């Protein structure tokens, strides 16, 4: 399928990636491996890589130069820490050392990097870096729905941008009215291939395909010859693939069954268990 690209000369959006800040992450050897040492930012290097890949795709040369600069990670950390300090300043005394913050790193076509942040509930390290994907014995899963309409794949679905109308529309159709809701809607393309969730990557267990699988994305073939089924390549998804906990595998919406358990992931919450309740 040919890619539908937005002209880089007049972009109407920025690129971004969301992650969490927590001092607990400094004790994680997995996070240290990704970040090159103890780090309070969840998979920070993977977030930079993800935005850089998108900037290359859109031909944003100034953004590419900013993200490929030797000090790019230090600059991103500086922007994030400024936001962390601002958030901590507003926090109540006595909880500052334990606070977890949702951060959003944003880069414009001109290469300007900014960060935004808000407090969020803490997430256990076991949800950020699990040893396996065996579902809990007594799960308390999110409610997961299949969208009622297809979403045509474009570069605005394949890469993380601030143009998110297609995701917001899917959430409205599923009657999900808050980002705090423990609910998710899964998007699928006009050929009925599963793409991703509105705020997550998704993983299905298929024994005949070797275990947990996740729909294909452009990042699965860095030569650019494959574009996947239309969804994004998340940072947690990358880690799970590198660890061999999941495999790339495509499936149609007709293969998804009510009652089956799925894993959902993003760079803020890590992994959460879901259950298909409507197809």
- What's the pLDDT tens digit per position in 59-98? 999 999 999 999 999 999 999 999 999 988 876 654 555 6
Mean pLDDT of 128-147: 92
Q: Are 188 and 252 in the same domain?
A: yes
One domain for residues 148 and 217? yes
Q: Which of 122, 151, 171 is the last residue of a domain?
A: 122
Name the domain count of the chain. 2
Q: Nearest-CA neighbor of 54 among 140, 162, 138?
A: 162
Residue 271 has pLDDT above 90, yes or no: yes
For residues 107 and 189, state if they share a domain: no
Please indicate, yes or no, if residue 179 is contained in any of the structural domains.
yes
22 occurs within a structural domain: yes
**Are both 267 and 178 inside the same structural domain?**
yes
253 domain-assigned: yes
pLDDT in tens, 50-62: 999 999 999 999 9
Mean pLDDT across the stretch 112-119?
95
For 215-226, the pLDDT digits (tens) are: 999 888 644 446
Q: Which one has a higher pLDDT value, 136 or 86? A: 86
What mean pLDDT is reported for the chain?
92
The CATH number assigned to the domain holding 163 equals 3.20.10.10
User: Which pLDDT belongs to residue 6?
Assistant: 45
Tell whether 112 and 41 lie within a shared domain: yes
Q: Is 43 left (phi over 0), alpha (psi -120 to 50) or beta?
A: left
Q: Are residues 118 and 149 in the same domain?
A: no
- For residue 127, tell me if it sits in a domain: no
Average pLDDT over residues 254-267: 97
- In percent, the amount of the chain with pLDDT more than 70 equals 91
pLDDT-above-90 percentage for the chain:
84
Domain range for 264: 142-278
Report CA 52 to chain centroid distance, whole Å. Answer: 15
Considering the domain boundaries, does residue 25 fall inside one? yes
122-141 average pLDDT score: 91
The answer to whether residue 64 sits within a structural domain is: yes
**Mean pLDDT over residues 126-130, rounded?**
97
Q: Do 19 and 112 fall within a single domain?
A: yes
Looking at the structure, tell me whether residues 104 and 171 fall in a common domain.
Answer: no
Asked if 146 and 274 sit in the same domain, the reply is: yes
In a domain, 217, yes or no: yes
- Indicate the residue among 122, 150, 167 that finishes a domain: 122
Asked whether residue 4 is domain-assigned, the answer is no
């Amino acid at each position: 399928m040919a890619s539908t690209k937005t002209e880089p000369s007049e972009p109407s959006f920025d690129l971004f990636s969301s992650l969490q800040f927590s001092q607990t992450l400094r004790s994680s050897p997995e996070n240290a491996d990704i970040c090159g040492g103890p780090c309070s930012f969840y998979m920070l290097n993977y977030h930079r890589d993800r935005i850089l890949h998108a900037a290359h795709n859109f031909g944003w040369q100034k953004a590419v130069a900013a993200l490929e600069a030797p000090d790019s990670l230090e600059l991103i950390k500086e922007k994030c820490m400024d936001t962390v300090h601002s958030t901590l300043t507003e926090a109540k005394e006595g909880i500052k050392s334990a606070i977890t913050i949702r951060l959003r790193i944003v880069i414009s076509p001109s290469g300007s990097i900014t960060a935004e942040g808000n407090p969020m509930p803490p997430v256990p390290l076991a949800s950020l870096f699990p040893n396996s994907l065996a579902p809990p014995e007594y799960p308390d899963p999110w409610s997961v729905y299949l969208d009622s309409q297809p979403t045509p794949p474009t570069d605005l679905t394949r890469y993380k941008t601030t143009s998110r109308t297609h995701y917001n529309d899917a959430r409205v159709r599923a009657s999900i009215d808050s980002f705090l809701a423990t609910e998710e809607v899964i998007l699928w393309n006009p050929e009925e291939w599963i793409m991703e969730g509105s705020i997550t990557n998704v993983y299905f267990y298929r024994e005949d395909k070797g275990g947990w699988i996740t729909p294909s994305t452009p990042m699965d073939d860095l030569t650019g010859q494959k574009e996947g089924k239309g969804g994004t390549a998340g940072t947690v998804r990358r880690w799970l693939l590198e660890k061999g906990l999941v495999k790339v595998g495509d499936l149609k919406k007709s293969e998804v069954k009510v009652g089956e358990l799925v894993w959902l992931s993003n760079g803020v919450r890590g992994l959460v268990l879901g259950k298909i309740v409507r197809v």
